[in-house]
Amino acid sequence: MVLLLCLKIRYPENFFLLRGNHESADITKMYGFYDECKRRTSNGVRTWKLFVDVFNTLPVAATIADKIFCVHGGLSPELKDLSQIKKIQRPTDIPDEGLLADLLWSDPQDNSDKSSSRKDKDLKSKSKSKSKAKFSNDWKQNDRGVSYCFSENVVKNFCANLDFDLIARGHMVVEEGYEFYGRRRLVTIFSAPNYCGEFRNWGAVMNVNKKLMCSFELLKPKKGKK
């Protein structure tokens, strides 16, 4: 994280950092970042708080040449126009529901019907408030405990209505490092091979050239890892 921030400071026009669902006070405490700050720095809690302050200011989406929509999680039933994202006030924590939560937590539906058995999905602690979410075939309940799983039809309509060719997102371990969805209108990119030492997944980095042609560099998992 420190390296990424240093690169952003040194090359502000070349590095762009987007917020993910882990960049919040609650999730950093649940998944080890808070403990790591205490273990590796002399004033751990203060260091952690400074990181959280930075996380709360990060943008949540970006576009490449107005044709590729980049976001950590996915789409939202509330998202009709990109101006809605621009109006999200920062700094802000991540709420339990709504547009911001969906952009960071939602997933494409698993057509193989294996989503309920996936072990790679991080979970959000149960909200104290009652969810007002309304589910449908296009917007199914997400087994992470927050947001939705959206259909191929949602991806198709989003790209058509806002004139995008591709949605690029992360948020999920995929075996080959990248995985297309919805007739190649959406791609999941996961850059950490051997995720958490529990998976044999490859990592991947997507390159986009000046003609908006996408290619992938693969990061091989280490042998002997699960």
Which residues are catalytic, by number?
A: 22
In a 3-state reduction of DSSP, which class is residue 126?
coil
Distance (Å, rounded) from C-alpha 148 to C-alpha 134? Answer: 10
CA dist., res. 74 & res. 134, Å (int)? 17
Q: Using CA atoms, how far apart are residues 79 and 157, in angstroms rounded to an integer? A: 12
DSSP element (H, E) containing 33: helix 33-40
Signed CA dihedral, 83, 85, 90, 95: sign only? positive
Which residue has 């621009």 as its token pair? 86
Cis (ω within 30 of 0) for the bond into 221? no
Query: In terms of Cα–Cα distance, which of 168, 205, 206 is closest to 185?
Result: 168
**Rounded distance, CA 224 to CA 162, Å?**
45
Single out the residue of 157, 155, 213 nearest to residue 186, CA to CA. 155
Phi, psi of 40, rounded to the nearest 5 degrees: -105, -5
Check: CB of residue 169 under 8 Å from CB of residue 154.
Answer: no
